[in-house]
C-alpha cells in the first residue's frame, strides 16, 4: 500500500481528489470513514453545556478556534460601538484587527469542517465599550493571551503543517499585541509583563488560558484531554 | 474535505501517520535536555510534498543546526542595533523605544549561546558581518542606514520581518519538543512585536502606507516599497492556508496580513550570504 500512496499523492495539490483516490483503495475504508465523520458533528458538547475542545491536533486547533471566536466577537463589538474619542488611526487599526480576527475565526471553521466546535456565546459585561482604557485594556489582555496560548500549545501539535499554520497566526497576534500595548502606553510593545529577561515572550498552558478566556464566555470551554 | 480532516481520517486506516510525518517525534517529545543530536522530520505544508516526505525519508537538520542558524540571525540583528546606537543615528526621542529592541536582540544572542553550549552543542562564533549589505566592502546598498534614520528603520523592519519568517520556517523541525520549540516560538513572537513596533514608528514618521502587519497585493508580498527587499517578503502574498483558499473570505490585504508566511533556511541564507553575512 505504501508505494501506491507515494505514486498517487506525490505531485497533486488537489487535496480532495488525491485523498479520495487514496481512500478509494478500499471501499470498506470509505464506508467506515463516512460513519466516523458523521458521528463527529456533535463533538465537544458536554451535558452541562460546556464545550470540550477534544483531543490531539484537532483539539489544539479547536482551542485556537475558540480563542479566535472570542477575539473576533470582541473587535466586532469595538467597531460597532466605538469608544468615545477614538481617533481615525485607531479606528483604522482596530478595523484591520477585527478583519484579521474574523478571518482567523472563519479559517478555522472552514478548515476544521465537521470537526469544529460550535459557535461560542460571549460575555463582555465586564468591558465598558464606550471607554478607551477599558476597551484597549481588554484588547491587550486578549492579544497577549493569544500569543501566550499559541506559544504555549505549539509543542502539543503533532503535525508540522498545523504547527506552521499556528506559527503564521501567532506572529500576527504578536503584531496586534505590540500595537495595542503602544496605544495604551507608548513604547510598551515588548515590556516586562510579556517579555522576560532572556528576550522570550511568555507562554501559557491551555488550562491557564481557558481559565482567563472563560471570563469572557457564556459558553464555557474545557480541555479535559490536555 | 480539507487537510485537517484528511490527516484525521487517514489516521483511522494508518494509525502511524503522525509517526510517518514526524518519524522521531516520540523520541524527542517533551525533551528537557537535548544533549544528543536529534533529527526531526518535517514537511512543507503542501499535501503532495507532505506525503512524499512522510512515506520516503529525507535528511533533516538537528536541533543544534536550527539553534545555530537562529543564533546567526540574532548576531546580525543585535549588531545592527548596537552599531545604530553607537553611531548615534537614533534620535533622542526614540532612544528608549529602540533600546527595548536592542536589549531583546542581545538577550536572544546570550540565551541561544547559553542553551546550545549548556546542552552539549557548540555555539557558533559571531560571523563576519557587513551592515551595509556589501559583503565586506562596507559600501553596500544600505551603507547610509547609520546616517539616515528613516533608512535605518526601513532596514530594521526588513530584518525583523525576515526574522519572524525565518523562525517560523524552522518550527516544523522542532515539532513536539516542548523546551526548544516553546523557546523558539517565544523568540519568534518577540521578533513580531519588534516588527510591529518599527512599522508603527515608520508610519508615525510619514511612511503612511506602512501598517504594523504585512499587507501584500495579489502579486507582490513586499509592502515596503523598497524593491531591494522583495526576496525578504517572497511568498507573503499566499492566500491558501491548510487547503482553504481564503480569498473568498476577505480582501487580498486582509487575507495576506492575517497570516505571516515562513521562509526556509536556504531562502534566508540566500538573502544574507554575500551581502550582510560576508562570504569570502
With CA atoms as reference, the chain B residue closest to A16 would be B1
Write down the pLDDT at residue B120: 92
CB A107 to CB B242 under 8 A? yes
How far apart, in whole angstroms, are the C-alpha atoms of residue B280 and residue B277? 10
Q: Show the 3-state SS of B5-72.
A: HHHHHHHHHCCCHHHHHCCCHHHHCCCCCCCCCCECCCCCCCHHHHHHHHCCCCCCCEHHHHHHHHHH
Flag whether pLDDT at B230 surpasses 60. Answer: yes
| A108-146 confidence digits (pLDDT tens) | 999 999 999 999 999 999 999 999 999 999 999 999 999
The owner of cell 539616515 is: B148
Among B46, B53, B27, residue whose Cα is nearest residue B38:
B27
CB A178 to CB B25 under 8 A? no
- In-domain check, residue B167: yes
For chain A, the domains span 2-41, 44-222
How far, in Å, are A58, A209, B12, B95 from residue A35 at the CA level? Answer: 18, 34, 12, 62
Tell me which chain B residues have a C-beta less than 8 angstroms from the C-beta of A10.
48, 51-52
More confident residue, B95 or B27: B95
How many distinct structural domains can be found in chain B? 1
CATH number, position B78: 1.20.1260.10
CB B52 to CB A10 under 8 A? yes
How far apart, in whole angstroms, are the C-alpha atoms of residue A58 and residue A142? 22
Flag whether pLDDT at A174 surpasses 70. Answer: yes
Burial string for A193-204 (b: 16+ CB within 10 Å, else e) reads: ebbbebbbbbbb
Flag whether pLDDT at B2 surpasses 80. Answer: no
How far apart, in whole angstroms, are the C-alpha atoms of residue B25 and residue B30? 10
Nearest to A161 among B10, B50, B244 (CB): B50
Residue B276 phi/psi, 5-degree rounding, is -80, -35
Tell me which chain B residues have a C-beta less than 8 angstroms from the C-beta of A168.
168, 241, 259-262
Write down the pLDDT at residue B60: 75
Tell me which chain B residues have a C-beta less than 8 angstroms from the C-beta of A171.
164, 168, 188-189, 191-192, 260
Write down the pLDDT at residue A110: 96
How far apart, in whole angstroms, are the C-alpha atoms of residue A173 and residue A143? 6
CB B48 to CB A9 under 8 A? yes
Mean of per-residue pLDDT scores for chain B: 86
Query: What interhelical angle do A160-184 and A56-80 show, nearest 10?
Result: 30
Tell me which chain B residues have a C-beta less than 8 angstroms from the C-beta of A160.
21-22, 42-43, 45, 171-173, 175
How far apart, in whole angstroms, are the C-alpha atoms of residue A137 and residue A129? 11
Write down the pLDDT at residue B17: 61
Write down the pLDDT at residue B96: 98
- Cβ pair A216, A124 in contact under 8 A: yes
| A180-195 confidence digits (pLDDT tens) | 999 999 999 999 999 9
Selected for mutation to probe chain A from B212, B215, B245 (highest A CB count within 10 Å) is B212
How far, in Å, are B39, B119, B165 from residue B112 at the CA level? Answer: 19, 11, 18
Nearest to A100 among B45, B189, B257 (CB): B257
- In-domain check, residue B224: no
| A87-102 confidence digits (pLDDT tens) | 999 999 999 999 999 9
**Residue A89: all three cell numbers together:** 488611526
- Cβ pair B142, B133 in contact under 8 A: yes
Tell me which chain A residues have a C-beta less than 8 angstroms from the C-beta of B254.
96, 99-100, 103
Among A49, A2, A54, residue whose Cα is nearest residue A25:
A2
Rounded mean pLDDT, A49-63? 97
| B9-50 confidence digits (pLDDT tens) | 666 666 666 655 554 444 333 333 332 222 222 222 233 333
Flag whether pLDDT at A9 surpasses 60. Answer: no
Flag whether pLDDT at B102 surpasses 50. Answer: yes
Tell me which chain B residues have a C-beta less than 8 angstroms from the C-beta of A159.
7, 18, 21-22, 175
DSSP lists the bridge partners of residue A122 as A217
Write down the pLDDT at residue B3: 62
Rounded mean pLDDT, A41-61? 84
DSSP string covering A39-56, please? HGGGTTB-TTSPEE--SH
List all residues 6 or more positions away from B220 whose beta carbon is below 8 Å from its beta carbon: B230, B233, B237
Rounded mean pLDDT, B265-276? 97
Tell me which chain A residues have a C-beta less than 8 angstroms from the C-beta of B8.
57-58, 115
Flag whether pLDDT at B177 surpasses 50. Answer: yes
With a pLDDT cut of 70, the percent of chain A lying above it is 80
Q: Nearest CA of chain B to the CA of A166: how many Å?
A: 9
Write down the pLDDT at residue A145: 98
CB B9 to CB A114 under 8 A? no
The owner of cell 515608520 is: B202
Write down the pLDDT at residue B8: 65
Where are the strands (E) in A23-103, listed by range? 51-52
CB B187 to CB A179 under 8 A? no
Selected for mutation to probe chain A from B4, B61, B216 (highest A CB count within 10 Å) is B4
CB B190 to CB A187 under 8 A? no
Mean of per-residue pLDDT scores for chain A: 86
Tell me which chain B residues have a C-beta less than 8 angstroms from the C-beta of A154.
171, 181-182, 185
How sure is the predictor about A43, in pLDDT bands with cuts at 50, 70 and 90? low
DSSP lists the bridge partners of residue B153 as none
Selected for mutation to probe chain A from B38, B242, B246, B251 (highest A CB count within 10 Å) is B242
Q: List helix spans (H) across B143-206.
A: 149-170, 178-204
The owner of cell 481559565 is: A211
Element housing A116 (H / E): none
Please give the CATH number for the structural domain made up of A44-222: 1.20.1260.10
DSSP lists the bridge partners of residue B244 as B241
How sure is the predictor about B155, in pLDDT bands with cuts at 50, 70 and 90? very high
With CA atoms as reference, the chain A residue closest to B40 would be A160
How sure is the predictor about A44, in pLDDT bands with cuts at 50, 70 and 90? low
How far apart, in whole angstroms, are the C-alpha atoms of residue A5 and residue B56? 11
Flag whether pLDDT at A24 surpasses 70. Answer: no
Write out the residue range of the structural domain in which residue B170 sits. Answer: 63-213+260-272
CB B185 to CB A203 under 8 A? yes
How far apart, in whole angstroms, are the C-alpha atoms of residue A7 and residue A143? 44
Tell me which chain A residues have a C-beta less than 8 angstroms from the C-beta of B118.
none
With CA atoms as reference, the chain B residue closest to A61 would be B4
Burial string for A107-118 (b: 16+ CB within 10 Å, else e) reads: bbbbbbbebbbe
More confident residue, B51 or B124: B124
Flag whether pLDDT at B122 surpasses 70. Answer: yes
Amino acid at each position: 500500500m505504501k508505494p501506491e500512496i507515494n505514486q498517487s499523492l506525490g505531485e497533486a495539490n488537489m487535496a480532495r481528489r488525491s485523498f479520495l483516490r487514496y481512500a478509494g483503495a478500499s471501499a470498506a475504508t470509505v464506508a467506515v470513514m463516512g460513519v466516523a465523520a458523521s458521528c463527529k458533528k456533535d463533538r465537544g458538547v458536554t451535558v452541562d453545556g460546556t464545550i470540550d475542545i477534544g483531543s490531539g491536533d484537532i483539539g489544539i486547533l479547536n482551542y485556537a478556534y475558540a480563542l479566535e471566536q472570542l477575539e473576533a466577537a470582541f473587535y466586532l463589538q469595538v467597531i460597532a460601538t466605538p469608544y468615545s474619542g477614538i481617533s481615525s488611526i485607531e479606528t483604522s487599526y482596530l478595523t484591520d484587527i477585527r478583519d484579521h480576527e474574523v478571518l482567523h475565526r472563519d479559517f478555522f471553521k472552514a478548515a476544521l469542517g465537521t470537526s469544529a466546535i460550535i459557535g461560542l456565546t460571549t460575555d463582555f459585561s465586564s468591558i465598558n465599550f464606550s471607554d478607551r482604557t477599558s476597551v484597549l485594556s481588554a484588547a491587550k489582555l486578549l492579544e497577549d493571551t493569544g500569543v501566550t496560548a499559541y506559544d504555549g500549545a505549539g509543542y502539543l501539535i503533532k503535525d508540522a503543517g498545523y504547527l506552521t499554520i499556528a506559527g503564521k497566526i501567532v506572529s500576527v497576534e504578536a503584531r496586534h499585541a505590540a500595537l495595542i500595548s503602544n496605544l495604551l502606553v507608548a513604547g510598551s510593545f515588548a515590556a516586562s509583563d510579556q517579555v522576560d529577561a532572556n528576550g522570550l515572550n511568555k507562554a501559557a498552558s491551555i488550562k491557564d488560558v481557558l481559565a482567563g478566556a472563560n471570563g469572557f464566555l457564556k459558553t464555557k470551554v474545557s480541555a479535559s484531554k490536555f | 474535505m480539507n487537510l485537517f480532516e484528511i490527516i484525521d481520517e487517514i489516521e483511522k486506516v494508518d494509525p502511524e501517520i503522525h509517526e510517518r510525518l514526524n518519524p522521531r517525534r516520540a523520541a524527542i517529545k517533551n525533551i528537557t535536555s537535548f544533549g544528543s543530536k536529534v533529527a526531526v522530520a518535517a514537511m512543507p505544508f503542501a499535501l503532495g510534498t507532505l506525503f512524499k516526505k512522510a512515506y520516503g525519508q529525507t535528511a533533516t537538520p538537528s536541533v543544534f543546526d536550527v539553534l545555530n542558524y537562529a543564533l546567526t540571525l540574532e548576531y546580525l540583528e543585535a549588531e545592527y542595533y548596537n552599531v545604530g546606537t553607537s553611531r548615534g543615528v537614533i534620535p533622542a526621542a526614540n532612544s528608549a523605544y529602540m533600546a527595548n529592541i536592542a536589549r531583546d536582540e542581545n538577550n536572544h544572542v546570550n540565551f541561544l549561546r547559553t542553551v546550545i553550549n549548556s546542552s552539549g552543542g557548540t555555539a557558533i562564533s559571531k560571523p563576519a558581518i557587513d551592515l551595509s549589505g556589501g559583503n565586506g566592502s562596507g559600501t553596500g546598498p544600505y551603507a547610509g542606514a547609520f546616517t539616515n534614520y528613516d533608512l535605518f528603520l526601513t532596514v530594521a523592519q526588513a530584518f525583523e520581518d525576515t526574522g519572524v519568517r525565518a523562525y517560523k520556517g524552522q518550527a516544523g523541525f522542532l515539532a513536539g519538543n516542548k523546551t526548544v520549540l516553546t523557546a523558539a516560538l517565544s523568540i519568534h513572537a518577540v521578533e513580531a512585536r519588534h516588527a510591529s513596533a518599527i512599522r508603527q514608528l515608520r508610519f508615525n514618521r510619514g511612511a503612511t502606507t506602512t501598517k504594523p502587519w504585512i499587507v501584500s497585493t495579489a502579486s507582490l508580498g513586499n509592502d515596503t516599497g523598497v524593491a531591494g527587499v522583495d526576496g525578504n517578503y517572497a511568498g507573503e502574498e499566499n492566500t491558501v492556508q491548510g487547503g482553504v483558499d481564503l480569498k473568498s473570505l476577505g480582501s487580498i490585504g486582509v487575507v495576506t496580513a492575517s497570516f505571516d508566511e515562513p521562509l526556509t533556511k536556504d531562502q534566508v541564507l540566500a538573502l544574507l550570504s554575500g551581502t550582510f553575512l560576508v562570504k569570502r
